[in-house]
Structure 1
Amino acid sequence: MFDKVLVANRGEIAVRVMRACEELGVETVAVYSEADKDAGHVRYADEAYNVGPARAADSYLDHDAVVEAAEKAGADAVHPGYGFLAENAEFAAKVEATEGVTWVGPSADSMEQLGEKTHARKTMRDADVPIVPGTTDPVEDPAEVTEFGDEHGYPIAIKAEGGGGGRGMKVVRGPEEADEQLESAEREGEAYFDNDNVYLERYLENPRHIEVQIVADKHGNVRHLGERDCSLQRRHQKVIEEGPSPALTDELRERIAEAARRGADAAGYYNAGTFEFLVEEDPDREAGELLGADTDFYFLEVNTRIQVEHTVTEELTGIDIVKAQLRVAAGEELQFSQDEVELEGHAMEFRINAEHAADDFAPATGGRLETYDPPGGIGVRLDDALRQGDDLVTDYDSMVAKLIVHGADREECLARSERALAEYEVEGIPTIIPFHRLMLDDEAFVAGTHTTKYLDHHLDQDRIAAAQERWGTDTESTADDEEVLEREFTVEVNGKRFEVDLEERGAAAIPTADAGGGQKPEPAGGDDEASGGAAADAEGESVTAEMQGTILDVTVAEGDEVASGDVVCVLEAMKMENDVVASRGGTVTQVAVGEGDSVDMGDVLVVIE
């Protein structure tokens, strides 16, 4: 087993991996950005290294900075968690090439073969795993999209090769949308996954999302740990996952699981991974009816990493998947046979996102956890990293915790989930806990007849607003208004030098000596230019950022004429693209930002006269 593992991630998954390491007697190393310097995963780790500024591309996605941190710390393994670099074959290869450091995951070659969606489709097709009609080579021209539509019909899904969880996926419902959606999918793929290659698939209108957990070692042993049903989604983002699926017969369940095992064998896959499938739902199926063995299902993608919802499978099987990952990476053989894998009871995972569910799940723009009192009791598990008093970091994903509930059967699991969510007390930031409580009283969800389209197309949005009114705490607290002063000191302890950052809130500035005499330190963040914002120096109406994020695209230039409602730039926040539009028509007199700039809420983006 390893001596020290660097966890190349943040938040709850970083803490989850560190806990597994601690139980194995392995030391842990955290990496963090400037935005995360006070984060929970930094507190939990044995040691921590700063890898860059808040923008993910300059910190958590910086290959060299993360590898350098591993070398400095003397880590002999790197665990990527999920997201960020977890499915980046280039980064995996860089770790594999680093002397004395082991990559905790499948080989870089396997990641490239299965993680890139077009390669994965070819591999699955050759392994006799059913695939959705689509392309197996990257698409670059809008004409290819319209030609595919002419042959297979609309709608069409354009998907980023390195994507997952709906990131980098756009739906084309007619030929007039091909150009815009292709460009958007390529842009998201580049921004999130360092890969702008995309491919096409026929877009299924009423699917269920079923995934199979795989664990394989380097000795040729492949095991599946049952399936999870992830059909409750909004904008292709999962919100509640459960297992086993409430919609499948045992015969269909086994067909899907065996297809996943065939695919893993064909790819020479090892470590943990998830094979995802779309299952054609019967729109006339009644509560209590199940989908039979003759139901069509199609391979969707392989996630060559741990999944957010791996916790569901852990509760059902009693197998610690993260420990299994570490043991496989260390060269150990799996210690259980396929026949020994048994699923007991029913489990659900509720993503506790800092979002306004009643406002189209818009991410929170800030706040502080004034109260944080999670539930407990039998069958209740909480994976989180935040603690009461922590500020909400809004530079990354909106998920702040995961509530996992296990029961003897689905009925008990639903009742226990209702109790646990009612106990979960959070104040200072909005969460989607009220939405989850609504779902536990929702006829389609309780009956298990919902599909991936249910939330976006069928659920009455007024019911979400009513749930938020009944159970929600929408107030977002903000950090203290007093000025925050920061100083840097160099201190020595037993001959070893340490750089120390000191924050002072609400106190008078203390001069620090330098060659030119006293100097007043700048408040944290510096001036507008240093923090990525800009002040308006042109006359007119300012279009400002409604949330903190990164500028992905600027669609106007100085001198352009715009109309009310025209898109002036695209802002990425919480891994979602947001169109920033002009509230009035006129002439653009100033463009204050450029592609790749980080902005704060209230920063001026464009000025229109």
Structure 2
Amino acid sequence: MFDKVLVANRGEIAVRVMRACEELGIDTVAVYSDADKDSGHVRYADEAYNVGPARAAESYLDHDAVVDAAKKADADAIHPGYGFLAENAEFAAKVEETAGVTWVGPTAESMEQLGEKTKARKVMREADVPIVPGTTDPVSDPEEVEAFGEEHGYPIAIKAEGGGGGRGMKVVRSEAEVEDQLDSAQREGEAYFDNDSVYLERYLESPRHIEVQIIADEHGNVRHLGERDCSLQRRHQKVIEEGPSPALSDALREEIGEAARRGVKASDYVNAGTVEFLVEDGQFYFLEVNTRIQVEHTVTEELTGIDIVKYQLRVAAGDELDFAQNDVELEGHAMEFRINAEDAANDFAPATGGTLDVYDPPGGIGVRMDDALRQGDDLVTDYDSMIAKLIVHGADREECIARGRRALAEYDIEGVVTIIPFHRVMLEDDAFVAGEHTTKYLDEEMDFEAVEDAQEKWGSTQSSDGDEETVEREFTVEVNGKRFEVDLEERGAAAIPAGNPSSGGQKPEPAGGDSGSDDAEIDGDGERVTAEMQGTILDVNVSEGDEVASGDVVCVLEAMKMENDVVASRGGTVTQVAVGEGDSVDMGDVLVLIE
């Protein structure tokens, strides 16, 4: 077994992996960005290393920085969690090539084979696993999409090769949308997965989203751990997951589980993974393989009693699975509620800040919390909006729902907007309680008036930014003859004496330091198109002098892993463009001036 594992992630999944390591007697190493220096995963780890600024591309996604941190810490393994580099075959290969460091996951070759959707479809088709009609080679030209539409009809799903969770997927409902949606899917694929390759599928109108958890070792053993139903989604992002699925018969459940095993075995896959399917009218179709641990792995752990993360580590260390397929039994029913810092009553808009003035999670029998928070923490808005996960387990689905109602009512959060009120509404919703919802239910059928009422009744509001001034200093200290550079931070107090320029000391800087930004000056009295949330500019659609109409898209803003069109509220002439592709912006920043 490993001596020390670096967890190349943040937040609750990093803490989840570290807890498994601690139970196995393994030391843990955290990596963190400047934005996360006070985060829970940093507090939990045995040691921690800064890997760069807040922007993920310069920290958590920086291959060299993460591997260098592992070398500095003398870690003998890297666990990627989910998101960030978890499905990056290039990074996996880099770790595999690093002497003395083991990659906790499938091989880079397997990740490339199954992580790219067209390759995965070929593997599954050869293993006699049903697939949705679509292309098994990438497409790059609008004419190819139009030809597919003529053959199979509309709507068509354009999907990024490396995509998942709805990112990099666009739905084309007519020939007129082909070019714009193809460009958008390619742009998201490049932005999120460093891969602009896309493929096509027939778009199923009202499917259930079913996924099968698998674990495989290097000795040829493949086990499936049952299925999870992830059909409750908004904009293709899962919000509640459960297992077993209320929509499957026992016969169909067995058929899907064995299809997942068969496909994975044919690909020579090793470690944990998830095979996802769409189910419609009693038929199931392969969707994709997630070559990593899933957010909702907790549901399967509650049903089976199997610690999937521990088995990831054991398999990576070369151990053989110590249970047979017939040993896997699903007991009762489990649900996971994603606690996102979003306002469900406002189209799930991400929170723009806040402090956890109160954080009192639920407990009791059948209740599990996966989080990295503590009371007093500031909300970090630079990354994913999910801040915690609540998992409940009961003897059957009815008890599970009742336990979920009780746990959500107990969950006390103040100072940060969350979707807890939304979850409480869903556990009273007729379609969800009956298990009749599909992946389209939230976006196309549900009446959100009850959510708006629940947000007023039970929801917390964003706390105002703290008034305390933060003073940071750099010191050089000497311990037992060895020099160290130390950063010291003090809040709500007078500036720390550090000398003055005339005495060789450092001159105090403003709290928080220099932002390093060269904000463009906005000159004019026209309409100021501003950012509605913090994020990154993916694309700028206008130039100075362009004529725009009300509703025209002026730029595309990525925030919380979602692509958002920024539109002009009135027509006019663009007189100034204040941002460029790749720029980071804050809420309220002026993007474009129109007169």
Q: TM-score, normalised by structure 1?
A: 0.95
1:284 match: none
Q: Deviation of residue 167 (structure 1)? A: 1.0
Residues 119-518 of structure 1 correspond to what in structure 2 (within 5 A)?
A: 119-281=119-281, 295-473=282-460, 475-509=461-495, 510=497, 512-514=499-501
Q: Is the 8 A contact 2:500 2:507 kept in 1?
A: no
2:30 match: 30
The alignment yields a C-alpha RMSD, in angstroms, of 1.6
Residues 85-96 of structure 1 correspond to what in structure 2 (within 5 A)?
A: 85-96=85-96
Q: Is the 8 A contact 1:551 1:572 kept in 2?
A: yes
Q: Deviation of residue 504 (structure 1)? A: 3.6
Distance 1:579 1:532, change over 3 A: farther
1:286 match: none
Give the Cα–Cα distance (whole angstroms) in 2 for the partners of residues 537 and 47 of structure 1.
48
1:289 match: none
Q: Is the 8 A contact 1:278 1:298 kept in 2?
A: yes
Q: Deviation of residue 541 (structure 1)? A: 3.5
Q: Deviation of residue 44 (structure 1)? A: 0.6
Give the Cα–Cα distance (whole angstroms) in 2 for the partners of residues 531 and 389 of structure 1.
29
Residues 530-569 of structure 1 correspond to what in structure 2 (within 5 A)?
A: 530-531=516-517, 533-538=519-524, 540-569=526-555
Counterpart AA for 2:459: G
CA offset digits 1:332-354 (Å, max 9, x no partner):
00010111111111100000001
Q: Is the 8 A contact 1:159 1:198 kept in 2?
A: yes
**What secondary structure sits across from 1:445 in the alignment?**
helix
Give the Cα–Cα distance (whole angstroms) in 2 for the partners of residues 132 and 160 of structure 1.
16
Q: Deviation of residue 6 (structure 1)? A: 0.5
1:51 match: 51
Q: Which runs of 5+ in 2 are unaligned?
A: none
Q: Deviation of residue 495 (structure 1)? A: 3.2
Q: Is the 8 A contact 1:232 1:241 kept in 2?
A: yes
Counterpart AA for 1:38: D
Q: Deviation of residue 318 (structure 1)? A: 0.5
Distance 1:40 1:496, change over 3 A: farther
Q: Deviation of residue 159 (structure 1)? A: 0.6
Q: Which residue among 562, 567, 571 is the counterpart of 1:576?
A: 562
**Sequence identity, in percent?**
82
Q: TM-score, normalised by structure 2?
A: 0.97
Give the Cα–Cα distance (whole angstroms) in 2 for the partners of residues 139 and 524 of structure 1.
50
CA offset digits 1:6-52 (Å, max 9, x no partner):
10001100000000001111011111111111111111111111111
Counterpart AA for 2:325: Q
Counterpart AA for 1:114: L
CA offset digits 1:409-448 (Å, max 9, x no partner):
1111111111000000001011111111111111111111
Give the Cα–Cα distance (whole angstroms) in 1 for the partners of residues 184 and 46 of structure 2.
41
Q: Is the 8 A contact 1:33 1:51 kept in 2?
A: yes
1:287 match: none
Give the Cα–Cα distance (whole angstroms) in 1 for the partners of residues 519 and 314 of structure 2.
46
Q: Is the 8 A contact 1:513 1:519 kept in 2?
A: yes
**What secondary structure sits across from 2:529 in the alignment?**
strand
**What secondary structure sits across from 2:500 in the alignment?**
strand
Give the Cα–Cα distance (whole angstroms) in 1 for the partners of residues 485 and 131 of structure 2.
54
Give the Cα–Cα distance (whole angstroms) in 1 for the partners of residues 82 and 20 of structure 2.
15
Q: Deviation of residue 244 (structure 1)? A: 0.5
Give the Cα–Cα distance (whole angstroms) in 1 for the partners of residues 468 and 573 of structure 2.
38
Q: State yes or no: 1:114 paired with 2:100.
A: no
Give the Cα–Cα distance (whole angstroms) in 2 for the partners of residues 482 and 72 of structure 1.
35
Give the Cα–Cα distance (whole angstroms) in 1 for the partners of residues 62 and 518 of structure 2.
19
Give the Cα–Cα distance (whole angstroms) in 1 for the partners of residues 527 and 229 of structure 2.
48
Q: Is the 8 A contact 2:41 2:372 kept in 1?
A: yes
Distance 1:519 1:335, change over 3 A: closer
Counterpart AA for 2:286: F
Q: Deviation of residue 515 (structure 1)? A: 6.8
**What secondary structure sits across from 1:316 in the alignment?**
helix
Counterpart AA for 2:575: T
Q: Is the 8 A contact 2:79 2:103 kept in 1?
A: yes
CA offset digits 1:241-272 (Å, max 9, x no partner):
00111111110000000000000111001100
Q: Greater CA deviation, 100-109 or 537-546?
A: 537-546
**What secondary structure sits across from 1:68 in the alignment?**
helix
Q: Deviation of residue 57 (structure 1)? A: 1.1
Q: Which residue among 573, 577, 587 is the counterpart of 1:601?
A: 587
Distance 1:317 1:19, change over 3 A: same
Q: Deviation of residue 560 (structure 1)? A: 1.9
Give the Cα–Cα distance (whole angstroms) in 2 for the partners of residues 252 and 205 of structure 1.
20
CA offset digits 1:358-388 (Å, max 9, x no partner):
1111111111111110000000000001111
Give the Cα–Cα distance (whole angstroms) in 2 for the partners of residues 33 and 39 of structure 1.
10
Counterpart AA for 1:450: H
Q: Deviation of residue 517 (structure 1)? A: 6.1
Distance 1:592 1:207, change over 3 A: same
Distance 1:20 1:574, change over 3 A: same
Q: Is the 8 A contact 1:159 1:170 kept in 2?
A: yes
Q: Is the 8 A contact 1:489 1:499 kept in 2?
A: yes
Q: Deviation of residue 493 (structure 1)? A: 2.4
Give the Cα–Cα distance (whole angstroms) in 2 for the partners of residues 504 and 587 of structure 1.
48
Give the Cα–Cα distance (whole angstroms) in 1 for the partners of residues 187 and 275 of structure 2.
26
Distance 1:517 1:537, change over 3 A: farther
Q: Deviation of residue 590 (structure 1)? A: 2.1
Q: Which runs of 5+ in 1 are unaligned?
A: 282-294
Q: Is the 8 A contact 1:349 1:402 kept in 2?
A: yes
Give the Cα–Cα distance (whole angstroms) in 2 for the partners of residues 261 and 535 of structure 1.
59
2:509 match: 522
Q: Greater CA deviation, 330-339 or 139-148?
A: 139-148
Counterpart AA for 2:41: H
Q: Deviation of residue 482 (structure 1)? A: 4.4
Give the Cα–Cα distance (whole angstroms) in 1 for the partners of residues 415 and 146 of structure 2.
48
**What secondary structure sits across from 2:70 in the alignment?**
helix
